[in-house]
Structure 1
Amino acid sequence: MRIARSPIPVALAAVLLAFGARPAAAAQPWAEGPVGTVGKLMWDAGGGRLGLCSGAVVDAPNGSVVATAAHCVRTAAGPEPPAEVWFVPGYHHGRDTYREDGWLVTGFHTPEGWDVTRETSAILPHDYAFLTLGRRDGRTVQEVHGANRLAFEPVAEGGRVAVLGYPAVEPYDGETLHYCAGETDVLTAGEAEEPNLGGLLLSGCDMTAGSSGGPWLTDYDPATGSGTLVAVMSVGSGQGHVVGRPYPEGARSLFAAASGG
């Protein structure tokens, strides 16, 4: 089956100026293997193709919320979400069994500002989303796999962050969890053009399409397989720079709609 990867948009390479963050490690396989609180979004994109993105379970009243990027859910070419999307926690070489292994997405929650009829540069600050999942055998994804804490803006400068996801463009195949790591650098005026202001920057990170929507985690604890989600993968320059989009304070109502809180 061919893959239709939901891309990290690269048209905005110019938004990153020469004032970038200190170099981060290039994407490497996650040494601990699959992580239950991080997973892969998959759907039938038609024509024998699979659509792919990444996401992470976040602590929610209903135990059934995944954080991801808005461009994984709605695009100019596909303004409505795919008919059937599955989230596979701890995905690892499961392309043929994603329906059996995954939780069905039952609700798609994107901010009003993510209006895909407008130019990408105008809506990029709103590139975040929440997904509500159904139960499996009466249990929530959080009951089975745990969850990451969700942080809203402001994000502190200088904290150590791990960026996780499933890159699916060469040299990667989307079948195993990869990561980059570095310090959080919140983009301010003089460091980036307006669409990426407030985003988090990592340089020297070669994550490719398929990692879109993957979590940017601080304070990761191997014992629980979870951390604090401070952003989701939003855009890449195609030249080793990636930007994560934090959740603003205004996204609390969107989270409440997704979580039943």
Structure 2
Amino acid sequence: MTLSTPLLAAAPLLAGLIGPALLGAAPVRQQADRPAIAPAQRATRGDVIEHVAARTLADQRRVLDYWTPERMAKAVPIDLLDLVDDSLTKGGLGKGGIVKGGDNLLDGVTGRAGVQATPDLSARKADLSIPPKLHGQARHLAASRPDTSTVGSRWITGGLVARTTGRVFMTVAGSDFVCSASTVRSANKDLVVTAGHCVKDGAGEWAANWTFVPGYNLDGPHPYGQYAARRMFVAGPWSRSADDNYDVGMVALATSRGRHVADVVGTQEIAFNPARGGQAFGFGYPADPPYSGDHLVYCAGRLKDDPYGQTRDQGLGCDMTAGSSGGPWMTRFDSSSGKGTITSLSSFKYSDDRRTMYGPYFGDSVKALFGKAQHA
């Protein structure tokens, strides 16, 4: 199973989740339910897999009507998907129901907000939902300017990023989930970028009822409208084997009340084959403690390479929890205007370093993905 692979970890699961048996073991790459993927695997130019989502106006209306305030409130981070009891799912993808858990939704299980589940202990990545320390978050909330180095603070500066970043709501195997995404400048004025696992379950099914809500906030959950997916795109290596190097999805949206999303909220730039390293700002809607998914959160700092060499991804110091999957990472970010250039996004964490988020490198395959999606 693959949708929960991102934002879980390649090292053994953390203490308190499975006990001391694997503590101290080196990070491993093999996952029981699929073969290891060599990091050097590369997509050929144009290796893009496409899916038609809500084709007609009637389909799009059905999707939007599905997302009642109650369903939105109950949706959980997509990263829960692989952690349900296989005895309930019979090897499938869906959430089988509420099963064993601890008193605070963390002891022995996942810590997912409002859901208790028995994890799949064969997974090569550990749950992102370990409640992180706040690291002076109250001080950040009162700051007049955003910090250029923070592992997780609420974004209160406003600007373009507060409109272009939003929450994604989707259904997989009958259960409702959330991710994050951002609009990007495109020829069709309808495009958002997110994580591949927020769009398609690797070799498995595509997400249904896919809806983007830009500028989501608790006071006005959809101030700029709601946009159903028309067409979805992922790179071939993600679709075939959930290769983390290609954990990128792009979605062409339907209009809302006749208006393109770009005309309503604006867009961020996107760039490919950037220089590695440097300063970046990451944004998203983390939904696990201590976050609730109701506010935009950001991390900022210097990028670094994957220390295990298992991917070409880069890491950013970040305590954001599950639900932030697919949130944009920007370089050349202007904190006063909220404008930047998207060069990666939130994908996964290693279990022995819960303070670092990793995001895929936007190379030629992502460029080809964008080239096709922006004309959909």
Distance in 2 (alpha carbons) for counterparts of 1:176 and 1:114: 29
Pair 1:39 & 2:163 matched: no
Q: State whether residues 37 and 148 of structure 1, in contact with CA within 8 Å, keep that contact through their aligned partners in structure 2.
A: yes
Decide whether the 8 Å contact of 1:65 with 1:133 is kept in 2.
yes
Q: Distance in 2 between matches of 1:61 and 1:255?
A: 10
User: Conserved in 1, the CA contact under 8 Å of 2:349 and 2:357?
Assistant: yes
What number of residue pairs does the alignment pair up? Answer: 238
1:63 aligns with 2:135: no
Runs of 4 or more consecutive aligned structure 1 residues displaced over 6 Å after TM superposition: none
Specify the alignment match of 1:258 in structure 2: 373
Alpha-carbon deviations, 1:35-64, whole Å to 9, x = none?
1111110124576x5310001111101111
Equivalent residue for 1:240, pick from 355, 360, 372: 355
Q: How many angstroms does 1:82 deviate by?
A: 2.4
Q: What amino acid is aligned across from residue 37 of structure 1 in structure 2?
A: T
AA partner of residue 162 (structure 2): V
Q: Which amino acid aligns with 2:270?
A: L
How large is the RMSD of aligned CA atoms in angstroms? 2.8
Question: Please, what TM-score do these two structures have when normalized by structure 1?
Answer: 0.81
User: What does 1:152-167 align with in structure 2 at a 5 Å threshold?
Assistant: 152-158=272-278, 160-167=279-286
Q: Quote the Cα distance in structure 1 between the aligned partners of 2:195 and 2:249.
A: 5
- 1:181 paired with 2:300, answer yes
Contact 2:328–2:346 (8 Å) recurs in 1: yes
Alignment of 1:164-243 (within 5 A): 164-187=283-306, 191-194=307-310, 196=311, 198-203=312-317, 205-222=318-335, 224-238=337-351, 239-243=354-358
Instruction: For 1:92, give the aligned amino acid.
Output: N
Shift of 1:100: 8.6
Is structure 2 residue 93 aligned with structure 1 residue 93?
no
223-232 or 65-74, which deviates more: 223-232
- Kept in 2: contact 1:146–1:226 (CA 8 A): no
Tell me the equivalent position of 1:136: 256
Instruction: State the shift of 1:245 in Å.
Output: 1.1
* Larger radius of gyration between Structure 1 and Structure 2: 2
1:178 Cα deviation after fit = 0.4
Q: 1:222 and 1:144 mapped to 2: Cα distance?
A: 21
Q: Give the distance between the partners of 1:66 and 1:212, measured in 2 at CA.
A: 13
The match for 1:5 is: 77
CA distance in 2, matches of 1:155, 1:208: 27
227-236 or 28-37: bigger deviation: 28-37
Task: Note if contact 2:165-2:182 (Cα within 8 Å) is conserved in structure 1.
Answer: yes
1:126 aligns with 2:246: yes
Query: Once the two structures are aligned, what percentage of the paired residues are identical?
Result: 30
The one-letter code matched in structure 2 to 1:235 is: F
Structure 2 counterpart SS, 1:7? helix
Q: Is the 8 A contact 1:4 1:45 kept in 2?
A: no
Amino acid at match of 1:140: H
Query: What is the deviation of 1:200?
Result: 1.5
Change (3 A) 1:215 1:90: same
Q: Deviations over 1:181-227 (max 9, x none)?
A: 0012244xxx2232x2x211123x21111000000012223564321
Task: Please name the residue that 1:102 is paired with.
Answer: 226
Q: SS at 1:220's partner residue?
A: strand
State whether residues 93 and 175 of structure 1, in contact with CA within 8 Å, keep that contact through their aligned partners in structure 2.
yes
Distance 1:94 1:132 in 2: 27
TM-score (norm 2): 0.58
Contact residue 6 and residue 210 of structure 1 kept, 8 A = yes
Letter matched to residue 166 of structure 1: Y
1:95-144 alpha-carbon deviations (Å, 9 max, x no partner) = 9x65993111111100010135x4x5xx1111111111111222211111
- Matched position secondary structure for 2:347: strand
Q: 1:100 and 1:163, CA in 2 relative to 1: closer, same or farther beyond 3 A?
A: closer
- Residue equivalent to 2:70: none
Query: 142, 146, 155: which is aligned to 1:30?
Result: 155
Give ranges in structure 1 of 5+ residues lacking alignment: 14-23
Q: Which amino acid in structure 1 is aligned with residue 331 of structure 2?
A: T
3-state SS of 2:371 partner: helix
